[in-house]
């Protein structure tokens, strides 16, 4: 089973953009272990900077950057097992290893 990672970008006006990334999980890492690693690396238990985690940035591209309403943080929504095909060419082990390295 692959792992679906869901997250949201929410600007100061509470407009939202949603995204999901599916990681390959060929070694069948337990969902609870993956969840624990991800949540331990979040800012205040909910937030991360997508570009630091090498995930697509979900800022609104239709509008110019506004320092009063835009910021870098994205909100982690959750993970789940899925049979959907993996979207990036990255294993879940590589992803969680990378975020551990960035934060530590």
Residue 101 above 70 pLDDT? no
Query: How many angstroms separate the CA atoms of 22 and 81, rounded?
Result: 9
Query: How many angstroms separate the CA atoms of 37 and 45, rounded?
Result: 11
Strand extents, DSSP E, the chain: 2-10, 16-23, 47-49, 73-82
Query: What pLDDT digit, counting tens, does each position of 19-72 carry?
Result: 999 999 999 999 999 999 999 999 999 999 999 999 999 987 777 667 777 788
Q: How confident is the model at residue 104 (pLDDT cuts 50, 70, 90)?
A: very low
The arithmetic mean of pLDDT across residues 86-90, rounded, is 82
More confident of the two residues 104 and 93: 93
Sign of CA dihedral 37, 100, 72, 82: negative
The arithmetic mean of pLDDT across residues 69-88, rounded, is 90
Q: Tokens at residue 6, please?
A: 């869901």
| Contact (CB, 8 A) for 3 and 32 | no
What was the pLDDT predicted at 89?
A: 79
What was the pLDDT predicted at 67?
A: 72
Could you give the C-alpha distances from 64 to 5, 14, 18, 74, in angstroms and in order?
27, 17, 19, 18
Could you tell me which of 88, 80, 78, 95 has the C-alpha nearest to residue 39? 78
């Amino acid at each position: 089973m692959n792992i679906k990672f869901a997250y949201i970008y929410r600007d100061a006006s509470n407009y939202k953009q949603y995204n999901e990334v599916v990681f390959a999980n060929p070694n069948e890492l337990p969902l609870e272990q993956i969840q624990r690693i991800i949540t331990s690396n979040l800012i205040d238990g909910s937030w991360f900077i997508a570009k630091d985690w090498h995930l697509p940035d979900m800022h609104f591209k239709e509008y110019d950057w506004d320092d009063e309403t835009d910021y870098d943080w994205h909100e982690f929504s959750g993970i789940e097992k899925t049979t959907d095909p993996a979207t990036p060419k990255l294993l879940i082990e590589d992803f969680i290893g990378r975020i551990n390295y960035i934060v530590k």
